[in-house]
Each structure stands twice: as structure tokens, then as C-alpha cells.
Amino acid sequence: MTEAAPIACSLDATDLSERLRWIAGLNTRALKSSHRDDLTLTLDYDPNALADVRKMVAGEQTCCAFLRFDVAEQPDMVRVTIEAPEEARGAADTLFEPFASRVASIGPKPCGCVSECGA
């Protein structure tokens, strides 16, 4: 059995701030809709943003390994599904907010976590 990744972002405050601004810019340009269902967030992007969506997901998989990402290409959209583990339930609102927002904001702690913050 593999050990679960810690519920913490590995970015420092400066890198996190830059990443959040970049994601907000991507969302301003290409996010068509978002939907949250408990510990799952679904994001639909304009299909022309595929390269940037893949870049975002690759970066997030590196710094927030505890989140699970899936990218599905469809003719009229690129759908990203992000799932948080049960252990992150208390921080889910803060974790998901930047992915569905067009405004870069940082949560109460530098890593964006609430109580499970490792930074």
C-alpha cells in the first residue's frame, strides 16, 4: 500500500502568488464554467486553451500531489476534474477556490491550506 501525499502545497509564498495569478489569467481567458460536488471540482475550458490547461495541471500535480486531476478533451471544451481526498475536507473550499476564480487570492496561510497546512 502506498503512503498518501501530505495535504500541503510545496510552493513558497512567492511562487504560490505567481501561480494563482497565472491560473486567474487562464480562467479569465478560457474558463467557461465550473461546478463543485462535495470533494470534486469540474472545470470546463475553451478547447483553444488545451496547452495552458495541461500546463496548469502538470504544475499542480507537482506542488499539490494530494489532489487528483483528470483532463478530458472534448470537441467543444477541455474538462478538468479535480478531486480532493477525504483528509482534505476541512480545507476543500480554500483548495478549490483558486481553480474556479478569475481573481488571484491567497487563503489564510501561504500555501492556501486552512488547518492541514504543512507550510
- Is the CB of residue 43 less than 8 Å from the CB of residue 79? yes
**Helix%, strand%, coil% for the chain, nearest 5:** 40, 25, 35
Number of domains in the chain: 1
Does the pLDDT at position 113 exceed 50?
no
Higher per-residue confidence, 115 vs 76: 76
DSSP category for residue 39: T
**DSSP E strands: which ranges in the chain?**
31-37, 40-45, 68-74, 77-83
- For the chain, percent of residues with pLDDT exceeding 90: 61
- Domain containing 18 equals 13-100
Give tens-digit pLDDT for 20-54: 999 999 999 999 999 999 999 999 999 999 999 99
CATH number at residue 60: 3.30.1360
Work out the pLDDT band at 104, boundaries 50, 70, 90.
low
